[in-house]
Amino acid sequence: MNQRFEFKHIHTMLLSLIALLLLPACGKLSNAVEENQGGALADNAASQVYVGPGEYDEFYAFMSGGFSGQIGVHGLPSGRLLKIIPVFSVDGEKGYGFNEETKPMLNTSQGFVPWDDAHHPELSQTDGETDGRWIFINGNNTPRIARIDLSTFETAEIIEIPNSGGNHSSPFATENTEYVVAGTRFGVPYPQQDVAISSYEENFKGTLSFISVGEEGEMDVAFQVLLPAFDYDLAHSGKGKSHGWTFFTTYNTEQKTTMLEVAASQNDKDFIAAINWKKAEEYIAQGKFREMPARYAHNVYDEHTHMATSTMKDKVRVLIPSECPGLVYFLPTPKSPHGVDVDPTGEYIVGNGKLSANLTVHSFTKMIDAIERGSFEKEIAGIPVLKFEEVVGGVVEDAGLGPLHTEFDGQGNAYTSFFITSEVVKWKVGSWEVLDKASTFYSIGHLMIPGGDSKKPEGKYLVALNKITKDRYLPTGPELCHSAQLYDISGDKMKLLLDFPTMGEPHYAQGISAAKVLPRVKKFYPIEENKHPYRTLGEKDSRVERSGKDVHIYMTSIRSHFAPDNIEGVKVGDKVYIHLTNLEQDWDVPHGLAVMGANNAELLVMGGQTETLLWEPKEEGVYPFYCTDFCSALHQEMQGYIRVSPRNSDIKLSWRLGEDEEAI
Amino acid sequence: MKKYHKLIMLMAALGLMALFIFPMWRITLIAPQYPNGVNMHIWINKIGGDTPSTLQNINILNHYIGMKYIEPETIPELQYFPYIVLSMVALGIVLALRGKATGYLLWTLLLVALCAAGLYDFYLWEYDYGHNLSDTAPIKIPGMVYQPPLFGEQYLLNFLAKSYPHIGGYFVGASILFGSLAFVFKRTEHA
């Protein structure tokens, strides 16, 4: 008997092994079949985006939540929304910014800022390829950069950008995520001070910041470059031959402060600022920086204490271009360029002049030649301006109106969004000919190809991130959803496959093969690694302690009860800290906690995690609490009471779980 | 070949040491919301599963129907079974060195008897866990008992319970086979 089952076991193992070996071959075979059948199958958009029940999507798409301040995680090609990651805005659903542990994440030099405008997600890269470790995103309004850990899909770190206003050209990683960058959209007085707005040219500056990223992802403002007070719009770092450089677009080189829609649109050409950050590192090493006063918060969430800490920093290193030759060059670029995008080889730098009909592409090689020849048109604040005709590598003519942003498919093609004519234009890198155009519905901003801003794009799909939806979905009153559209770009012609709504305004997005992320994803937090100072590692340790007016409840949750679930001896005016440790060690079993009258939100505690709800009862009575996240057949029974007595009451603290015990 | 009976007997004895490396039995629970199944591994000296938290998760499931918590530290067999196995290994080595057919036979029969006793003991535990349910269980289904099969597969409410030997168990089977072979070879050595 025993041996028969052993054979069966080995037999199964051998079969699975053979199946595994055959798998890639099968994939190729079925592709070939599809190609041969062409017509009928190829036109069936529904089947191309259909991901069957229980099946995984091929790609993760991380969509900026825009003015929701969050990140939306979608699957591609289905477009299904998988998770909303709270980043810069409080989120009652998850208690983010409401529980005691995450409040410090939203601390800034201006105090607690519970909202921001999140624009550009950026995946970490290794050797110029997306690596699935982290995703960064900028907070535009109160300048910040956040790092989200892709093993937990939680915000792990937020750093404020000092002496900056409107962190738009951010975060955009370098080839090995040595740095993510931040550029001020608004010129601001430097240092910040009370001056007349009309003294703009004299008192205002623009800073570009380089945020170093350590082995564990830890961020630090390594240095800033002090530039004229242009508006710095977008950025991208070089790769391959241009590794070591980062490019920032500018507008409002007119340096106006009022009625910018006209005043900042007058110059025929604005600039792309090219920063040689390797040179910057040399200057830093030589000590050629100035240490300037600054005030900015650095907030870090510790996965073991399950708590965030906020540290205020008070200085920053600044490089002045006139003191650091070779650090910065300006590349004239028509006309108020928005996106600046570097092709996978690192040679071409696309300036998407958003008020221009043409698309200007600079050549990195020509730029270096011009710099070596010292062939400059003029200098602005000690920064050489290169000659337009000496750096242009090519121009894509009459492609559309209002080019905003370009990504690449890894096959030598580029795809540019045109806002005004509401379309995606596919063109050939090098020959600059337009290959195809596809309408978008409506008013596309950025677009995204998984890995499309890296050295190794995965050029199967393109996502258009649209600003306006009008008639595309069921109306929902004056406010309609924002929307993304999915295109198949595997053939010669782009093909629209799918509309799907997104949360907030989807400015930019990043995509990555799920296979690169899945091996790192955690299922729960090992309870033995819980180092929260108020953790409760077993029901036996659950208890209530008083210290003056502070009451600390050490509570646990496991299917399907809290321990303790009856508490007496709390008084009006107490500050009650409910420290809930979820003892579960299984995937997808969070427990929630909500207390009647709490002025914050619920807790949503993952397996092995501890979170704290501060509850300040205002009136005597008996207050129910319960589990908010369905956990089991007896979830509805997962509830309890806290008795609140008058301030002068002599009722002693007591707690219990179950009928038979006086106390646990 | 036949003169290697001592070596074969030695392998039979040492094969039992596998019980300290691999679990001897596996109970798998399969339900739609547990797509990968929940695997409980029974070792000679402990009870575990695919992950360190498997037993906790099984106990959470079991408590709805009032089944007792499985607490390995309260199961006496897990304390003394290892000594029985070590004794059998030692005895097997001694008998292998002596090289007598009767020794091989007795050792093998003793092992079979121990296996039978072990399985009977396992059955009693399963019976106790499956029948001796708490009066205050949240879910009570008249007439329903939750004894998993000793060997084979059976539906227990929404779970399909599978109970089969695991790698350690196969090694015990191999030890019985090798003990028998050693006996046969020794007996037919000069035939």
Instruction: Give the model's confidence band at A95: pLDDT under 50 very low, under 70 low, under 90 confident, else very high.
Output: very high
Q: What is the pLDDT of residues B92-141, one digit of tens each?
A: 999 999 999 999 999 999 999 999 999 999 999 999 999 999 999 999 99
Q: Is the pLDDT of residue A88 over 60?
A: yes
* Residue B2 three-state SS: helix
Residue A357 confidence (pLDDT): 85
Whether residue B102 lies within 8 A of chain A, CB to CB, comes out as no
DSSP per residue over B96-165, as a string? HHHT-HHHHHHHHHHHHHHHHHHHHHHHHHHHHHHH---TT-S---TT---PPPSSEEEEETTEEEEEEE
How many secondary structure helices (H) and strands (E) does chain A include? 9, 45
Residue A53 in contact with partner chain B when CB distance is under 8 A? no
Q: What is the pLDDT of residue A40?
A: 43
Burial class (CB in 10 A: 0-12, 13-18, 19+), A136: buried
State the amino acid at position A374 in one-letter form: G
Q: What DSSP string describes A90-102?
A: -BTTTTBTTSTTT
3-state SS, residue A386: strand
pLDDT of residue A304: 97
Task: List, for residues A569-595, the tens digit of each pLDDT value.
Answer: 999 999 999 999 999 999 999 999 999
Q: If residue A611 lies in a helix (H) or strand (E), which one and from where to where?
A: strand A610-615
Does A499 score more than 70 pLDDT? yes
Query: Does the pTM of the predicted model rise above 0.80?
Result: yes
Q: Select the residue of B64, B170, B177 nearest A634 (Cβ to Cβ).
A: B64
Q: What is the reported pLDDT for A42?
A: 52
According to DSSP, the residues that pair with A251 across neighbouring strands are: A231
pLDDT band of residue B35 (cuts 50, 70, 90) is confident
Q: Which of B51, B139, B170 sits opposite A2 (nearest CB)?
A: B170
- Tens of pLDDT, residue by residue over A288-324, are 999 999 999 999 999 999 999 999 999 999 999 999 9
What is the predicted pLDDT for the residue at A44? 87
Instruction: Let me know: does A309 contact A209? Beta carbons within 8 Å.
Output: no
Query: In which band, very low, low, confident or very high, does the pLDDT at A22 lie, cut at 50, 70 and 90?
Result: very low
pLDDT given at position B36: 85
Any chain A CB within 8 A of the CB of B173?
yes
Side chain identity, residue A471: D
Q: Is there a contact between B138 and A633 if contact means CB atoms under 8 Å apart? A: yes
Interface test with A, best of B51, B53, B111 (most A CBs within 10 A): B53
Q: Which two tokens stand for residue A401?
A: 């109106």
Kindly tell me if the per-residue pLDDT of B72 is higher than 70. yes
Lowest-confidence pick of A36-50, A136-150, A548-562, A588-602: A36-50
pLDDT of residue A662: 44
Residue of chain B whose alpha carbon sits nearest to that of A10: B167
Residue A551 pLDDT > 70: yes
For B139-163, the pLDDT digits (tens) are: 999 999 999 999 999 999 999 999 9
Note whether B164 contacts A3, CB cutoff 8 Å: no
Average pLDDT over residues A248-269: 94
CA distance A566 to B116: 50
Contact B38, B49 (CB under 8 A): yes
A636-653 per-position pLDDT tens digit: 999 999 999 999 999 999
Contacts with A585 from chain B: Cβ below 8 Å: 51-53, 56-57
Residue B83, min C-alpha distance to chain A (Å): 24
**What pLDDT does A60 receive?**
98
B170 and A CB contact within 8 Å? yes
Contacts of A6 in chain B (CB under 8 A): 170, 173
Phi/psi for A113 (5° steps) reads -115, 100
Instruction: Calculate what percentage of chain A has a pLDDT beyond 90.
Output: 91
Q: Which residues of A touch B181 (CB under 8 A)?
A: none
ipTM: 0.89
Residue A356's pLDDT is 87
For residue B117, the model assigns a pLDDT of 96
A530 falls in which pLDDT band (50, 70, 90)? Answer: very high
Q: Is the pLDDT of residue A32 over 80?
A: no
User: What is the residue-averaged pLDDT of chain A?
Assistant: 93
Option in A1, A585, A632 nearest B56 (CB): A585
pLDDT, tens digit, for every residue of A153-199?
999 999 999 999 999 999 999 999 999 999 999 999 998 999 999 99
Q: Is the pLDDT of residue A27 over 80?
A: no
The encoded tokens of residue A398 equal 């009459």
Q: State yes or no: cis peptide before A564, omega within 30 of 0.
A: yes
Q: Is the Cβ–Cβ distance between B37 and B57 less than 8 Å?
A: no
Report yes or no: A547 at the B interface, CB cutoff 8 Å.
Answer: no
What was the pLDDT predicted at A165? 95
Query: Which residues 6+ apart lie within 8 Å of A514 measured at CB?
Result: A56, A57, A58, A59, A60, A75
Q: What is the pLDDT of residue A660?
A: 63
- Predicted confidence band at A43 (pLDDT cuts at 50, 70, 90)? low
Return the DSSP state at A230: P
| DSSP strands (E only) in A403-494 | 403-408, 413-418, 423-428, 434-439, 444-448, 461-466, 482-488
Contact yes or no for B138 and A559 at CB 8 A: no
**pLDDT digit string, tens, across residues A446-480:** 999 999 999 999 999 999 999 999 999 999 999 99
Asked if A559 is an interface residue toward chain B (Cβ–Cβ < 8 A), one would say yes
Q: Which residue of B has its CA nearest to A558?
A: B60
Choice between A26 and B16, residue whose per-residue pLDDT is larger: B16
Give A262-269 contacts, CB < 8 A, sequence gap 24+.
A264/A231, A264/A336, A265/A335, A265/A336, A265/A355, A267/A335, A268/A334, A268/A335, A269/A332, A269/A333, A269/A334, A269/A335, A269/A388
